[in-house]
Amino acid sequence: MSIKIKGLSKTYGKKPVLQELNLTIEKGQCYCLLGKNGVGKSTFLNCILDLVKPDAGSVNLLDKNYSQHGYEIKQNLGALCEDNPLIEEFTGLEYLNFVAKLYRLPTAEANERISSLTKYFFSDQESLQKNMAGYSTGMKKKVGIAAAILHKPDVLLLDEPFTGLDPIAAQLLVQLIRSYRNANRIILISSHDLNYVERVATHIGVLNDGQMMYNGSVEEFTMNGKNLIDQALFQLLLPHHNPEANIDWMLT
């Protein structure tokens, strides 16, 4: 069971975002994709989700490809997209029930899972009876996460899952990701929240200029824990940042 990416390329207009990327993510891994703003992390995840069509290359999930087995792949794939699209006219509970129906979960099982996930993430259960249009960013994010894992997919893709969560919810998500990973599934995360990445990652990918600047275990990335992930990332990326940037005008 794996995600296999071969020769994946994507250009928007004249801007090459992904250039012949090759990558394999195995079960039991929590692969965290890091990189500067606009470097192509969401584009990469969206190619794996079949939401963005790559110009070249192939995505193989769980030994299947989209052209022949799109339906089966999507049944076994859960995702939280960066813009976290929800149907905001629905209450949180209505939405989760709707998602459960899409995945054809038996009613009793759906009720049990929705109840346990909402109890896990929401101390205020009453809010789940209200329309999501009135939810805060973090509340929407928690509903989006619950919707992504409701059908217990073997592959879970989370784009910026920690952004907007309060520290309690973020810690609960860390625990959930660890348990999910330990159950031998595949988790792929794009995140700038390195404190949380530190707690969940088994593998790290650093995307820069269309290429994987680093792709390997977290141990190797941090030199067996001698560095924190943020230190290792700065060492890798800072030399590529604009050295002439100067904001001294603010000081006078």
Ligand X SMILES: Nc1ncnc2c1ncn2[C@@H]1O[C@H](COP(=O)(O)OP(=O)(O)OP(=O)(O)O)[C@@H](O)[C@H]1O
Q: If binding is defined by CB under 6 A, does position 137 make contact with ligand X?
A: no
Paired strand residues for 23: 5
Q: Which residues fall within 8 angstroms of residue 186, CB to CB, at 6 or more apart?
A: 1, 2, 3, 25, 26, 27, 28, 29, 31, 154, 155, 156
| CA–CA gap between residue 226 and residue 130 (Å, rounded) | 48
**What's the min distance (Å) between Cβ of 39 and ligand X?**
4
Which residues inside 2-61 make contact with ligand X, applying CB under 6 A?
12, 17, 35, 37-43
**What's the min distance (Å) between Cβ of 111 and ligand X?**
35
Report residue 217 as tokens.
């275990």
**What's the min distance (Å) between Cβ of 62 and ligand X?**
24
Shorter beta-carbon distance to ligand X: residue 60 or 208: 208
- H/E element, 140: helix 137-149
| CA–CA gap between residue 181 and residue 31 (Å, rounded) | 10
Q: Phi then psi for 33, rounded to 5 degrees?
A: -95, 120
Shorter beta-carbon distance to ligand X: residue 32 or 150: 32
Q: Phi then psi for 174, rounded to 5 degrees?
A: -55, -45
CB atoms within 10 A of CB 167: 9
**What's the min distance (Å) between Cβ of 1 and ligand X?**
26
- H/E element, 190: strand 186-190
**What's the min distance (Å) between Cβ of 18 and ligand X?**
9
DSSP string, 149-168: HTT--SEEEEES-STT--HH
**What's the min distance (Å) between Cβ of 228 and ligand X?**
20
Shorter beta-carbon distance to ligand X: residue 114 or 165: 165
| CA–CA gap between residue 218 and residue 222 (Å, rounded) | 6
Instruction: Please work out the total of residues on this chain that contact ligand X, with binding judged by CB under 6 A.
Output: 10
Shorter beta-carbon distance to ligand X: residue 64 or 192: 192
**What's the min distance (Å) between Cβ of 40 and ligand X?**
4
Give how far the C-alpha of residue 197 lies from the chain's centroid of Cα atoms, to the nearest Å: 11
Are residues 79 and 3 in contact, defined by beta-carbon separation less than 8 angstroms? Answer: no
Site residues for ligand X per CB under 6 A: 12, 17, 35, 37-43
